Amino acid sequence: MSWDNAYESLTEEHDVSGHWAFGTGFADALAGVGHDVPADVDRAELAAYCVMLGDDALVFAQRLSEWCSNAPELEEDVALANIALDLLGQARMLLTRAGEVDPTVRPAAAPEHVPDEDALAYFRDERAFRNVRMVEQEPGDFAETVARLLVFGCWRLALFERLAGSRDPVLSAIAAKGVKELAYHRDHAAQWALRLGDGTEFSRERMRAGLDRVWPFVAELFTPHPVETRLAEAGVAVDPAELRSTVDDVLDRVLVAAGLPRPETPALPAAAGLAGRHGVHTEPMGYLLAEMQHIARSHPAAVW
Amino acid sequence: MTERAELAASPGRETPEREIEELERRFQRTVDAEQRIEPRDWMPEAYRRTLVRQIAQHAHSEIIGMQPEGNWITRAPSLRRKAILLAKVQDEAGHGLYLYAATETLGADREDLTRRLVDGRQKYSSIFNYPTPTFADVGVIGWLVDGAAICNQVPLCRTSYGPYARAMIRICKEESFHQRQGYELLMTMMRGSAEQRAMVQDAVDRWWWPSLMMFGPPDDASTNTEQSMRWRIKRHTNDELRQKFVDMTVPQAEKLGVTLPDPQLRWNAERGHHDFGQPDWDEFWRVVKGDGPCNAQRVAHRRRAHEDGAWVREAAAAYARKRAGDAGGTGRAARTEGAA
């Protein structure tokens, strides 16, 4: 009678390269990539840009992970968790890069032993987050999540396809890896948009309403922050204004195929000209951060 | 191989009683010879029923088990821990899927089993009816709860029903991954602040006895053991597995630096095993019968998710029907090809 059992070997010492836990010993996505910042690039601006793209991914991953155990089908629990994990992975690399190129980006409140990615995720206040406002919205129903994932996926894929040509070797490598992930996210969302748009009358109405709720946040995706504009000119970043026609084209094709009208809800105004990229967010953001950050901040001396 | 082929069911034919006896003898010979029973093979109705009940209960446990740890995904205190936890809870959904698929090879239906779960007609492991008030609970669930699950499940990799055995091989691999992650979290926390060490000890105190209960009631009170062992669905008794779990856990607790909350726990050189106290079996039966701290909450959560998603599943089915009916390829569905 065999008792061969992994439990027995639990206390054995493991080689640090062992693939036994996420983040432990897996091939580094950035292995072999140079980390030098091109000499003419402003390091503070590059860090700020990494934070913008990192925050988009982090905050959306946080929202998508709220679906876990709440999805309409088990396959969807798996798929949405997968997408959240991809985005979380992108966020971790981008926030780490931000801290690497400009150590002053670390918030003063972060304890020294906390790595850059966690210092930025857990110890910044709301005004220091630079994500677009679309990703911080409450998930809403499944159709609204599909609508948001569709728009965000189309936009970020178009962005990363161009960013793969960045002069910053790390941004370029992160984008090249992310393109494969984002193509899947976009495809997954598009397939659901078709099923819901061309499923039942009820689902069509929900999908239409979901798109209406997401649409006010679309214009902001294409509004460049001065840092984005300057870094795009330097060949490091992507000017989001250039993505509009590509994204519109893909979205239009999905909407037509799904038999859904293009939403006409007006863009959400910025607050005194300031929106997510300036750290001015909508009210749900504060609650999201309160939930995400409170354990880390309650135990600043702790190691996790 | 020829005998296996003869065991295949012959649908649409009444089987005379004498023939059934012969089929039963052959079935038991196959099982005794440690060969696998496959979906197309003849099997006693009671064997099929027992398997559906056991595998469904196991699948439900994976799905309900997403909740106590899922409770911490949005609050995990580092991004690495968040990724580990999200991936783990995702794995549990995957395990539920493999197991529901295994029940479907026995003629069950996922939708029907889910209905039974949310109506309270089928059970899941009682361990998930306890709350997870601190982040240390995530680590202790990985160490003790996944550890107990592995002890229960490793022998199932050789269980007599083929699809179940094969699902369990994959599940056990992933479970041991989870268990190491849990133990590593606890090791890290024990090396951290005094506050964190207290948090770990508190979680161990709360989870130790429920973990021992995971092996089921003592052998003399277990109604299903004997028949299940004869069918090789089960291979060790509850008490054997519990003893094994305690013997393995004690040195791990020492290495971790936590105390297991059992004053009777001591090494018995004569037996070559640890002596240990009995869990509160009255509490066990109360929780099994629905009166635990989280029973109502867990089932209500699953029911809400399932019912809230009904319109999405209906839409997907309607869309699939339209596509299937779209033989000419001229409808809207056919025009979607190049869209994404």
- Contact call for B154 and A5, based on CB within 8 A: yes
Contacts of A154 in chain B (CB under 8 A): none
Q: Which of A194, A206, A302 sits opposite B195 (nearest CB)?
A: A302
CA distance A225 to chain B (A): 27
pLDDT at position B335 is 45
Count CB atoms within 10 A of the CB of residue A127. 12
Contacts of A252 in chain B (CB under 8 A): none
Interface test with B, best of A26, A58, A77, A255 (most B CBs within 10 A): A77
Tell me the mean pLDDT in the region B105-123.
Answer: 95
Identify the closest residue of chain B to A119 by CA–CA distance: B78
Q: ipTM for the complex? A: 0.93
Residues 119-158 of A with CB under 8 A from B: 121-122, 141-143
Measured CA to CA, the distance from residue B221 to residue B281 in angstroms comes to 10
User: Which of B84, B53, B63, B54 shows the shortest CA–CA distance to B128?
Assistant: B63
pLDDT at position B332 is 52
Give how far Cα A192 sits from Cα of A42, A178, B78, Å: 42, 21, 32
Q: Which of A6, A81, A296 sits opposite B86 (nearest CB)?
A: A81
pLDDT at position B339 is 41
Are A161 and A179 a contacting pair, CB within 8 Å?
Answer: yes
Over residues B167-178, the pLDDT tens digits come to: 998 888 888 889
Q: Which of A23, A78, A301 sits opposite B94 (nearest CB)?
A: A78
pLDDT at position A22 is 42
Tell me the mean pLDDT in the region B172-198.
Answer: 93
Measured on CA atoms in the order A42, A43, A48, A54, is the torsion positive or negative? positive
- Contact call for B78 and A296, based on CB within 8 A: yes
pLDDT at position B222 is 74
Contacts of A195 in chain B (CB under 8 A): 315-316, 319
pLDDT at position B176 is 86
Contacts of B308 in chain A (CB under 8 A): 70, 72, 141
Residues 212-231 of A with CB under 8 A from B: none
Tell me the mean pLDDT in the region A168-194.
Answer: 97
Over residues A74-126, the pLDDT tens digits come to: 999 999 999 999 999 999 999 999 999 999 999 999 999 999 999 999 999 99
Q: Which of A23, A76, A77 sits opposite B80 (nearest CB)?
A: A23
Query: In what helix (H) or strand (E) does residue B30 lie, and over which residues does it extend?
Result: helix B17-32
Choose the most confident range, by mean pLDDT, from A35-39, A210-214, B35-39.
A210-214
Identify the closest residue of chain B to A121 by CA–CA distance: B79
Three-state SS at B255: helix
How much is the pTM?
A: 0.91
Buried/exposed A273-293: b ≥16 CB within 10 Å, e otherwise: eebbbebbbbeebeebbeebb
Question: Using alpha carbons only, what angle is made at residue B170 by residues B167 and B173, rounded to the nearest 5 degrees?
Answer: 145
Tell me the mean pLDDT in the region A180-198.
Answer: 97
Three-state SS at B230: helix
- Contact call for B191 and A142, based on CB within 8 A: no
Domain residue extents for chain A: 39-298
Q: In this structure, which topology does domain A39-298 adopt according to CATH?
A: Ferritin (1.20.1260)
Q: How many CB pairs under 8 A join A and B?
A: 235
A12 touches chain B (CB under 8 A): no
Measured CA to CA, the distance from residue B77 to residue A294 in angstroms comes to 8
Are B181 and B251 a contacting pair, CB within 8 Å?
Answer: no
- Contact call for A81 and B191, based on CB within 8 A: no
Identify the closest residue of chain B to A72 by CA–CA distance: B309
Residue A155 pLDDT greater than 60, yes or no: yes
Architecture of domain B23-321: Up-down Bundle (1.20)
Measured CA to CA, the distance from residue B257 to residue B255 in angstroms comes to 5
Residues 224-283 of A with CB under 8 A from B: 253-254, 256-259
CA distance B67 to chain A (A): 7
